[in-house]
Amino acid sequence: MKKNLLTLVGCSVMLAALPLRVAAQDELPSLIVAPFSGDITHIQYWQPALGAGLAEMLITELGKINKFTVLETTQMETLKDEIKMGQDGWVDAAEMVEKGGFAAADFMFTAKVTRFGHKEQKLGLGGFVPRSFGNLGIKQTTSDVRIDWRLVDAANRKIIKTGSATAEEKGTGFDVGVNVTGHGGRVGFDNKEFMDSALGKATVKALTLITDEVKPVTLPESGRRKQKARTADQQANAADAAAQALRSTPGKVLAAPSKSAIIVSLGTQHGFKDGDKLNLYETLDVKDDQGNVVFTDEKLVGEITIQAAQADRSRASYEGDVTIKAGWVVKAK
């Protein structure tokens, strides 16, 4: 007899599926499990809630193998509502969940259920029971589940692994055709009637076969992490190039009251620090007949050592015999 079943997957299952943010798991690749699709031409009464319930069950099982950080997928609307409550002012600004904080997925698990149900077979035992009509017989129910699945790189859509899990179990049936607000019967670890049924037991067998196949898979570096690494390298290279450009920018001697107090126009913002050495150049101007400087030669006369670097200038010392003058050029060695 059909029974009215709730269609929402239990919150307890959702909470069990959320990953624990501990240090040991931070380095694990992240995974999302999409709600299972169903072959509606072969599965009578297939409903979206069945696919969501099966995905919830697999999320729970994959979370146990310590191979992925499993991200929430089937309760996204609830999570979005939590964010919206903060945006609407129902949550204190210091406590609200900010939009844009969701973790991204390295891999995606997707599956299609091609068999999910049961068939009944009447077995005749022969003989005759008094006051009955007909031969003695029993009704035997066999539940059959088949799930075709893929493990996919979420960034580049490359399929990492495919498989098919098939399981069957004899015993009590479970009616997935109960229609409650158009969503069908509920399946999940928290539904005792389903778990006690042959269909529930066959489902658990199939999910166990999947996790057993997924656990030993050697995962490549995900496309998302490769992209992050490329972006980080590009940013680092750009920063290095900018720093190199600053270091290669010539400076000038601003003042030289003594050999131990030569003030130059290069500092920490140009990439220099205490102890760095700079080449010192005497400037030799070439003038035309009217006395205009038309060319400036630079003559290397030695090196100076930075003693105290500030943001845009430094104090340096010089150990040579040349009398240094303001306006001379200093460059990185």
Residues 6+ apart with CB under 8 A from 156: 223
User: What is the structure's pLDDT at 2?
Assistant: 34
Look up residue 168 and give its two tokens: 């069957």
User: What is the structure's pLDDT at 92?
Assistant: 74
Look up residue 226 and give its two tokens: 């490769």
Mean pLDDT on 161-179: 82
pLDDT single digits (tens) 263-295: 999 999 999 999 999 999 999 989 999 989 899
Overall pTM surpassing 0.85 (yes/no): no
Parallel/antiparallel/unpaired status of strands 107-128 and 30-33:
parallel
Mean pLDDT on 12-32: 53
Burial 226-239 (b: 16+ CB within 10 A, else e): eeeeeeeeeeeeee
Q: How many CB atoms lie within 10 A of CB 220?
A: 14
Torsion (CA) 253, 259, 261, 262 in degrees, nearest 10: 10
276 to each of 127, 192, 243, 302, 305, how far by Cα in Å?
105, 74, 15, 14, 6
Residues 6+ apart with CB under 8 A from 198: 118, 141, 142, 143, 169, 170, 171, 172, 173, 174
Model confidence at 76, pLDDT cuts 50, 70, 90, reads low
Nearest to 76 by CA among 91, 94, 55, 93: 55
Asked whether 271 and 243 are in contact (CB, 8 A), the reply is yes
Domains belonging to the chain, first-starting first, are 11-228 (no CATH), 248-332 (2.40.10.410)
Model confidence at 117, pLDDT cuts 50, 70, 90, reads confident
Q: How many CB atoms lie within 10 A of CB 117?
A: 21
Instruction: Give the up-direction half-sphere exposure of residue 274: CA atoms within 13 A in the CB hemisphere.
Output: 3
pLDDT single digits (tens) 295-329: 989 999 999 999 999 999 999 999 999 999 999 99
Whether the pLDDT of residue 74 is over 80: the answer is: no
pLDDT single digits (tens) 128-139: 444 444 444 455
User: What is the structure's pLDDT at 178?
Assistant: 53
Across 41-45, 138-142, 185-189, 224-228, the highest mean pLDDT is recorded for 224-228
User: What is the structure's pLDDT at 126?
Assistant: 47
At residue 59, what are phi and psi to the nearest 5 degrees?
Answer: -55, -45
Rounded Cα distance between 168 and 320, Å, is 92
Question: Residue 120 CA to chain centroid, in angstroms?
Answer: 45
Q: Which residue type does 264 have?
A: V
User: What is the structure's pLDDT at 140?
Assistant: 64
Model confidence at 122, pLDDT cuts 50, 70, 90, reads low
Whether the pLDDT of residue 94 is over 80: the answer is: no
pLDDT: which is higher, 193 or 211: 211
